[in-house]
Structure 1
Amino acid sequence: MFTIEHDFDATVVTLVDEGSVSLQEDVTVCAFEDCVTVEQYDPRRDAVVRITLSLHQARELAAALNLPEGVYRAKGGA
């Protein structure tokens, strides 16, 4: 299951793990004008872990999810 919310400065997607075994914490993806953040609570650290991707990295990640193993360079990439 996932939710999509449009906030003032970001689009927020929350992914909820509904599997029956080894459930993971929710993942929150925030798409801002200049970057994308991915956050997940880590119970071992008792803290939220965040990574920040440039828009270019986010586009390459989205493309990579549908490609076979290999090395690629996006057209028009920097």
Structure 2
Amino acid sequence: MFSIEHTFDASVITLVDEGVGHLTEDITINAFEDCVTIEQVDPTTDIVRRITLSLSQVQDLAAALNLPEGVYRLKQAEAE
């Protein structure tokens, strides 16, 4: 399950781990104008852990989800 909320300066997506077996804490993704942050509470310390991705890293991640094993570099399309 997930939710999407649009705030003044970000789009916030929350991913809820559902199902059988070991479940992890919710993940919150904040999409800002210049970066994306991913946050999750560490259940052993109760501290929020945050990872910040540049927009370039987000594009690379999106492409990587659909590619086979290997090393890649995305090439920007040239303007006509």
The bucket for the TM-score relative to the shorter chain is over 0.9
- Structure 2 residue 17 is the aligned partner of structure 1 residue 25: no
Tell me how many residue pairs correspond in the alignment. 76
Structure 1 stretches of 4+ moved >4 Å? none
**Percent identity over paired residues:** 70
Partner secondary structure for residue 57 of structure 2 = helix
Q: Which has the larger radius of gyration?
A: 2
Q: Which residue of 2 aligns with 1:59?
A: 59
Structure 2 length normalisation: TM-score?
A: 0.92
Report the secondary structure of 1:13's partner residue: strand
The alpha carbon displacement at 1:44 in A equals 1.3
Q: In 1, distance between residues paired with 2:20 and 2:74?
A: 37
| CA distance, structure 2, for counterparts of residue 2 and residue 46 of structure 1 | 22
Gaps of 5+ in 1: none
TM-score, normalising length from structure 1? 0.94
Distance of 2:67 and 2:45 partners within structure 1: 34
Query: Which blocks of at least 5 consecutive residues in structure 2 are unaligned?
Result: none
